[in-house]
Structure 1
């Protein structure tokens, strides 16, 4: 039996999966690392932590693996999008990585809009500028840390930096490059037009390859530290959302994905590159060659739930907490939550907005608050689904992965709110499985990613919308959509008092 490894470089931890040719996850290791949040809106990490924890995880996998390491044929990667790693000409890291959920770049976003123009930016990149993207981060460093920017020889995205440290080879790939706001989506190349307008030398950009492309093998030092063979093939990998879609089998028209991790994503497969959503949702290259996906994002999805648990129920297991909300009626007895803990992205690109509980009553207990958090996250994701439907896209089946797929109660809430069939996979492993599938395809096990998905993925359960619950949620959703506009100015006024 042959094996591959999928490495998912997340925001809070790196997760490693050892997968065999039948799609079985034989071993799994996770290693966490901290966020660095020095100021309000800042979110950074030390890139060396990614490398150290990944190598520790690989070594642990090898130690637990009962077979011959030479049977581990390939390794590929999924990674958090948009993050900025800067290296000098000797490939030394110049500063901490600035992450996707960092919101310090509002000023730079407005400058980019003014200099490039909203319409030209949308025409070239298929996306509007947002604080989370890589280009505003580059401009921020240029303006605020010029002594660092002047020394920068190349920028890398998080999983691409990790792959470089394992192979010594510098590349990016299209699904991650699409999230930088520097990729010309039509031409599939870096946009020298944007670089010229913003004043960034595009020589700083790494070469781009396809997600399944063979990059090289592990370096001798990495092989010695991890126990893996130096002949282990390394493949480019993809952005976490692209890999999540691959790992959920979202590889054909009509298929959609709901992924609830730290952030939440609703993603839909696109075969063509010229579908026009007017910038209301993101439009990125898929991990499958010459295909695309549209995507809406809730910045604080699972993060809202983990915040609630750590603040109000630190000693209660998630499973126990979720069981308590089953008997709370839809709408949480009149309590509404908006998950804007870190600002919001879709459909409100707003780094200043913050979350709200609306309708608090003395009869509300912890279980109502918890259910309202779960419902609020789901309502936020439903705003993206509504955009897809308003633009003529049929959304009737959604594969749910991540934290939101671990609770049958939440899966039923998703089906009721989304008014769609929600599918839970038997062996759901999210982006890490997508990375493993890219390694399997790259290793020649299958003729296509779809063939790989047909072998690797099985449906465990299907949740259908319940009419009475769906109708009730539809009415509450209309109320939910009014909260943003009604609290926007309040949050603007309160910004001065945040630390």
Structure 2
């Protein structure tokens, strides 16, 4: 039996999965690491932590592996998007990585609009200038840490840096590069126009390859440290959302994905590179060659639930916290939550907005609050569904993965709020499986990504919308959308009081 490894470099942990040719997960290892929050709005990590924890995961996986180590034919990657890693001429890291959920760059986003122009930016990059993207981070370092920036010769994205440390070769690939604001998404080239406008050498951007492309073999040092074969091939991989799409079978028109991790996304497949969403949702290159996807983002999706648990139910497992919420009616007995704990992305690109509970009263219980948090996350995701539908896309079937797919009541809430059939997969490791599928395709296991995906991906359960709940949630969703406008000025006034 032959095997491949998918490495999913997430925000809070790296997950390493071993899959065989039948699509079975033979082993799975997860290693967590911390976030660094020096100030409000700042979010960083030490790239060396990614490398060390990945080595630990690979070593543990290899030690448990019973077969011939040379039967592990390939490795590929999924990774958190937008993060900035800067390397000097000796390929040494110059500072902590600035992550996707860091929102310090509001002034730099304004600078990008002033210099490039709103319409021209959308023409080239297909996306608005948002605090989480990579170019604003580059400009922030250039302005606030010039002594560091002067030493920087190349920037990298998180999983690309991890792959470099495993192979010694520097590359980027289109699905992750699309989230930098430096890529011409339609033409699949780094934009010399944007680089020139900000006095960035085009060589500051790493060489581009396809997600399934072979980029080297593991180094002798890594093979020695982990027990992998020196012959193990390494393939480029993709952005976490692109890999989540691949790992969920979002490989043709009409397919939509809902993924709840720390952030949440609603992602829909696109064949064309010329659709116009006016920057309301993201428009990125897919991990599938010459394909694209549109995507809306909720910044604090799973994070909202984990925050609620940590603050109000610290000693309760999630299973206990959510046990019984199915008995709470839609609307959580008149309690509404907006998941703006760290600002919001879609449809409100607003780093200042913050979360709210609306309608609290003395009769509410912890279960009401827990259900309200889940409903609020789902309402936020539904704002992206609404944008897709308004553009003419049909959303009748949604594959749900991540934390939102681990609870049947939450899956039914998704079906009712989205008014669509929800499909739960047998495996919920979408991005990791997507990375494994890219490795298997690169290793030649099939002649298409879809051919491998059809073997690897199996549905487990479906949830149909309940008509009376659909109607209730339509009313509640309209109330939910009002909260943003009603609380925007209040949150702007509170901004100066945040530490």
Q: Hey, what does 1:360 align to over in structure 2?
A: 360
SS at match of 1:128: coil
Q: Hey, what does 1:49 align to over in structure 2?
A: 49
Distance in 2 separating the partners of 1:116 and 1:125: 11
Gaps of 5+ in 1: none
Q: Hey, what does 1:103 align to over in structure 2?
A: 103
Q: CA deviation at 1:435?
A: 0.2
Distance in 2 separating the partners of 1:235 and 1:370: 41
Q: Hey, what does 1:290 align to over in structure 2?
A: 290
Distance in 2 separating the partners of 1:168 and 1:199: 28
Q: CA deviation at 1:430?
A: 1.4
Structure 1 residue 317 corresponds to structure 2 residue 317: yes
SS at match of 2:439: helix
Structure 1 residue 403 corresponds to structure 2 residue 403: yes
Q: CA deviation at 1:201?
A: 2.0
Distance in 2 separating the partners of 1:260 and 1:69: 34
Distance in 2 separating the partners of 1:349 and 1:89: 36
Distance in 2 separating the partners of 1:467 and 1:398: 17
Moved more, 320-329 or 365-374: 320-329
Give aligned pairs, total: 499
Distance in 1 separating the partners of 2:76 and 2:18: 11
Q: Hey, what does 2:199 align to over in structure 1?
A: 199
Q: CA deviation at 1:186?
A: 2.2
Q: CA deviation at 1:427?
A: 2.0
Q: Hey, what does 1:120 align to over in structure 2?
A: 120
How do residues 262-273 of structure 1 correspond to structure 2 at under 5 angstroms? Answer: 262-273=262-273
Distance in 1 separating the partners of 2:228 and 2:195: 40
User: Over the residues paired in the alignment, what is the CA RMSD in angstroms?
Assistant: 0.5
Q: Hey, what does 1:241 align to over in structure 2?
A: 241
Conservation of the 8 A alpha-carbon contact between 1:343 and 1:354: yes
How do residues 307-346 of structure 1 correspond to structure 2 at under 5 angstroms? Answer: 307-346=307-346
Distance in 1 separating the partners of 2:330 and 2:14: 35
Moved more, 401-410 or 185-194: 185-194
Distance in 2 separating the partners of 1:197 and 1:359: 49
TM-score, normalization: structure 2?
1.00
SS at match of 1:203: helix
- Write out per-residue CA displacement over residues 90-126 of structure 1, whole angstroms, 9 at most, x where no aligned residue: 0000000000000000000001101100000000000
How do residues 207-218 of structure 1 correspond to structure 2 at under 5 angstroms? Answer: 207-218=207-218
Distance in 2 separating the partners of 1:107 and 1:52: 34
How do residues 476-491 of structure 1 correspond to structure 2 at under 5 angstroms? Answer: 476-491=476-491
Q: Hey, what does 1:443 align to over in structure 2?
A: 443
Distance in 2 separating the partners of 1:495 and 1:18: 46
Q: CA deviation at 1:319?
A: 1.2
SS at match of 2:77: strand
SS at match of 1:326: helix
TM-score, normalization: structure 1?
1.00
Conservation of the 8 A alpha-carbon contact between 1:116 and 1:198: no
Conservation of the 8 A alpha-carbon contact between 1:405 and 1:411: yes
Distance in 2 separating the partners of 1:113 and 1:397: 36
Runs of 4+ in 1 over 3 A off after TM superposition: none
Distance in 1 separating the partners of 2:314 and 2:69: 40
Q: CA deviation at 1:191?
A: 0.4
Q: CA deviation at 1:326?
A: 1.0
Q: Hey, what does 1:492 align to over in structure 2?
A: 492
Q: Hey, what does 1:59 align to over in structure 2?
A: 59
SS at match of 2:323: helix
SS at match of 2:309: helix
Distance in 2 separating the partners of 1:374 and 1:108: 33
Distance in 2 separating the partners of 1:397 and 1:218: 40
Gaps of 5+ in 2: none
Distance in 1 separating the partners of 2:288 and 2:259: 18
- Write out per-residue CA displacement over residues 139-170 of structure 1, whole angstroms, 9 at most, x where no aligned residue: 00000000000000100000000000000000
